[in-house]
Amino acid sequence: MLRKFAIVIALLATPLMVARAQLQIDPNNMTPEQQEMMQQMQDMGQQVQQAIQDKGLDPQELFAPMQQAIANGGDPMEAMSQIMIDKGLLSADQLNRLFGTMRSLALSTIRQQLASSDEEWAIIQVKLQRVVVAMSDAEQDQFGRLTGRFIGGTNNSPMEAARKDLAAALKDPNISQERLHIVVGNWRREHEKAKAELEAARADLTRVLTLRQEAVLLTIGVL
């Protein structure tokens, strides 16, 4: 794959790349539905690549703000979405469809690996969603947060608000010590709550899993 195209795909689907590695998606063992979803994402990647070429944009410069967002503890998916919309590469509606497809592929892959029946999956999926949303709040490493955000979807939790407040505070050279003390304290309180929620959510999920299913989710990093 050419370097330029690799950068475009990274800009468009960094969450998918993370999830693909972690979920161990095997291109040779995909269902027709999964293959269709993957093709849709590849088509959109080609569309973005063509738009970047037509506009004469530098893909590496486009990718930089998302890298900075991750480094600052921000939301890389929000950063990527804003870049796409601001540069006219994809519309908000197209991005919503893309994220929906990526999320569906991830969940479909997890279900396939768990070998769960329709009845089992109806129970597991709800509890799994609770876990991954909690991961996007509680995890501090980029890998865990991005996976949780990717599979869990939009997160407007108190912890996410506290994270954004902290990032904004660090960017303000004139912030008072009193204000910074409040922001840091709020972040710590919300993070403690988030860690407790993640622990409870994982315990709740584990209770409905077979031992093999638990092992699968351990290798994925969900448990």
DSSP string, 31-56: -HHHHHHHHHHHHHHHHHHHHHHHHT
pLDDT confidence of residue 176:
93
The string over 82-94, giving b where at least 16 C-beta atoms fall within 10 Å of a residue's C-beta and e elsewhere, is: ebbeeeebbeeee
| Residue carrying the six token digits 């993640």 | 198
Q: In the predicted model, what is the mean pLDDT of the chain?
A: 78
CB 8 within 8 A of CB 45: yes
pLDDT confidence of residue 4:
39
pLDDT confidence of residue 3:
39
Residues of the chain with pLDDT under 70: 1-27, 66-67, 69-77, 140-155
pLDDT confidence of residue 126:
92
CB 15 within 8 A of CB 78: no
Helices (H), the chain: 3-23, 32-55, 59-71, 76-86, 92-114, 118-138, 142-152, 158-171, 177-206, 211-220
pLDDT confidence of residue 9:
41
Segment 201-210, tens digit of pLDDT: 999 999 999 9
